[in-house]
Amino acid sequence: MAATPQNITLGELAQAAIADYLKHTVAYKKLVLTDADPENLHQMRVGLRRLRTAVQVFDAGLDLPKAGREPRIAALGLKLGRLRDLDVTRLSLCDRYAPDLPAEEHQYLGVVLLHLAKQRHKTFKRVKQLLKGDRYGKFKQALTTWVEKPTYKAIAALPAEQAMPDLVLPLVSQLWLHPGWLVGAKAVNTKAGSAKAAHSGIQVHSRLSQAAVDTLISDQGAVLHSLRKQVKRVRYQLRLVADLYPRALEDDIQRLSDLQDTLGDLQDSTVLEDFIAAVVPDAKAQMPTLFALLADSRHRAWKQWQSHQQHYLDASQRQRLRLALLHPGDSAAQTPNLKTPDLKAPAAEKTAPETNGATASQSRRRAAAKGKAAGDQTSRRKSKSKSKSKPSAARSADQP
């Protein structure tokens, strides 16, 4: 029977997503162990983060083995994340800031980079032990076995469209209720019937001095970092289910991606300052140009943050996304794509990655593809009069 949005089950959607993200993750293991390119570690983390999101979103319908559940995936991602953080620090210092430093500051930068290299060497050894150890092996084997013969809870038999709003909206609600949205904002009184009453009653401080901004970021850095993680989770979640909401989620996925970058820039500048200060005595006086560049980056990121903050503090923007998520399939009768083509394949192993059974969903996908092809023929006939419509443009890469 051809797969359609009405008869694709929650279980089928979950199995296909987990299979693809697991395949992406394990394909990068050997390349990470060679330690030749930091992009390989980044891509492995991308796979793990998306795998974790899929397990979170579909948890109510899945009967997963203990070694393949969300806490185990999160623990693996955390350990890889420590190494990735050091790589990002080095790339930022060398590529973004070093070219603009005067000669007298390069000697101090060399001291910082040497300290960074020693830390990275120790951290990589731990990652190497992890990927060659039992914990990673059990995680991989558990999910590979599950992908080949998936087991579900009762609600996995529901049509995906029917269950999706109840699965997606809770995490979005957690995002809207995050206290990070109020950093650098204040409550305002709005009278009923006024033009401002339709908004959230929160006003962004647009005239803060740079010193006040620095104080806010210093005091509320942990809150903003927590918000960034929540933004990332929601962005991955929306991307995961985007095919059930044709063209309805693209703008929010892109805006959340930009917001994630902005919050990352806010955090990175303060983390770099602290890291350098721990290595170089009286670092701010010894490296004034670098610290001025870090401050400038932070202040520019703050202005970008306020733009995103203003957008999503608008109650109408929040309600728009809520309503869109309540009605999957409204934009077009389009079959969800059970594959995730935007994941980047390993450059050295595109034709034969380390899959170990992660392709067990191929027969189901072929059936879905036949249904999609039939649906596409109908869609093309219907879309002749809409040939000037803007094409879907989901972001294809992930940020660190």
Q: Is the pTM of this model over 0.85?
A: no
Instruction: Look at residues 57, 91, 72, 400 and name the one whose alpha carbon lies nearest to residue 261.
Output: 400
Share of the chain above pLDDT 70, in %: 78
Structure confidence at residue 378 (pLDDT)? 43
Position 11, amino acid = G
Structure confidence at residue 393 (pLDDT)? 32
Structure confidence at residue 397 (pLDDT)? 38
Q: In the predicted model, what is the mean pLDDT of residues 86-115?
A: 96
* pLDDT above 80 for 351: no
Instruction: Look at residues 161, 207, 152, 162 and name the one whose alpha carbon lies nearest to residue 184.
Output: 207
Structure confidence at residue 23 (pLDDT)? 97
DSSP secondary structure letters along 218-239: HHHHHHHHHHHHHHHHHHHHHH
Residue-wise pLDDT tens digits, 212-240: 999 999 999 999 999 999 999 999 999 99
- pLDDT higher at 344 or 117: 117
Structure confidence at residue 193 (pLDDT)? 53
Judge whether 255 and 308 are in contact, CB under 8 Å. Answer: yes
Residue-wise pLDDT tens digits, 367-398: 344 444 444 444 444 444 444 333 333 333 34
From residue 227, alpha-carbon distances to 181, 256, 310 in Å are 8, 11, 15
Q: What is the DSSP letter of 328?
A: T
Position 191, amino acid = K
Lowest mean pLDDT among 27-41, 151-165, 337-351: 337-351
* pLDDT above 60 for 149: yes
- pLDDT higher at 369 or 29: 29
Lowest mean pLDDT among 4-18, 95-109, 139-153, 270-284: 4-18
Share of the chain above pLDDT 90, in %: 73
Structure confidence at residue 203 (pLDDT)? 85
DSSP secondary structure letters along 44-110: HHHHHHHHHHHHHHTGGGB---GGGSHHHHHHHHHHHHHHHHHHHHHHIIIIIIGGGS-HHHHHHHH
From residue 175, alpha-carbon distances to 275, 299, 360, 385 in Å are 30, 24, 35, 39
Structure confidence at residue 323 (pLDDT)? 95
216 C-beta neighbours (distance < 10 Å), count? 17
From residue 48, alpha-carbon distances to 65, 77, 137, 188 in Å are 17, 6, 14, 42
Structure confidence at residue 341 (pLDDT)? 42
Structure confidence at residue 43 (pLDDT)? 97
Confidence category of residue 96, pLDDT binned at 50, 70, 90: very high
Structure confidence at residue 1 (pLDDT)? 35
Q: What domains are defined for the chain?
A: 10-333+347-364 (1.40.20.10)
Q: In the predicted model, what is the mean pLDDT of residues 302-331?
A: 92
Confidence category of residue 19, pLDDT binned at 50, 70, 90: very high
* pLDDT above 60 for 360: no
Position 361, amino acid = S
Structure confidence at residue 343 (pLDDT)? 66
Residue-wise pLDDT tens digits, 41-58: 999 999 999 999 999 999
Interatomic CA distance for residues 328 and 244, integer angstroms: 6
Q: What is the DSSP letter of 374?
A: H
* pLDDT above 80 for 184: yes
Structure confidence at residue 190 (pLDDT)? 61
Per the prediction, the chain carries an average pLDDT of 84
